[in-house]
Amino acid sequence: MKSYFQFKGAKIRYSLKGKGNAIVFVHGFLGCIDLWKDQITDLSRNFKTIALDLPGHGESESLGYLHSMEMQADLIMALLKQLKIRKVILVGHSMGGYVGLAFAEKYTDRLKALILVNTTAARDSKSRLKSRKQLIELLPKKRKQLLKSLVDSFFVIPTFKRRYLVKRYLQWANQCEVKGIAAAVRGMMERKEREIILKFAPYPYLIVAGKEDPIIPLKQSNAEANLNENSKLIVLEGTGHITPLERSFKLNSEIMKFLRENKLS
């Protein structure tokens, strides 16, 4: 069921399903609520699941030139206030993890746990910043080709369903307007390093890494999991950068296991 609310004059789409402890799902770059379809189906049996289209993605409107991670964290906070939800478990994928870390910094007391999937607390490398800048410059003229190339690079495992997953994610990417894509890229470029947030996190956190992820190095995920004794690292075989689709039911199982271990289910 589609629901909407207003944030700074923009219409934002969200979904709400289930009862129990609240879990907020935050999708990554070029994604949307539908990225979490399998997670919502499984976990809404035991939890209140909330997902949203970030600004400029899915059916949510853009909010200007730059979509900072902090602004998007404020958006999540505004939705929680509207839904009268005090504390949540937050699950962020890729860019959604950057937003989740910004939320963790600004609203620490609102978190019961943090789950980071195919993401990092580190800033962009110089080469990543350069490629993001080039993307913004080329988008107006080569949008279709750029999105196809980007989405194709997310899925590196040659499984029987790879073509289907690429096609599915590309449909979501093509929903995004050029200005929304560029605003998200600028937000990622200027984001802060937030390893210190994990080091001093007063809540448990789980890092889920894809063994073949071409974007987030496994070495980085391991280092971030070792920042705090109340953390856990899961490395999943047979997945690149889009674990919620590539290994959806295994991811669900690991999330449930982590939440049970921390008495949150």
pLDDT tens, position by position, 203-230: 999 999 999 999 999 999 999 999 999 9
pLDDT at 43 over 80: yes
pLDDT tens, position by position, 124-173: 999 999 999 999 999 999 999 999 999 999 998 887 789 999 999 999 99
- Cα separation, 4 vs 8, in Å, equals 13
pLDDT tens, position by position, 68-81: 999 999 999 999 99
Residue 254, C-beta contacts closer than 8 angstroms, at least 6 positions apart: 206, 208, 234, 236
Closest among 232, 134, 144 to 189, alpha carbons compared: 134
Containing 19, the helix (H) or strand (E) segment is none
CATH assignment of the domain containing 191? 3.40.50.1820
Looking at the 3D structure of the chain, how many domains does it have?
Answer: 1
Which ranges of the chain does DSSP label H, i.e. alpha helix? 37-43, 69-83, 95-106, 126-154, 162-175, 178-189, 195-199, 218-225, 243-246, 248-261
Contact 182, 140 (CB under 8 A): no
Task: Record the pTM.
Answer: 0.97
Domain with 257 in it: 3-261
Scan for tokens 């974007």, then name that residue.
215
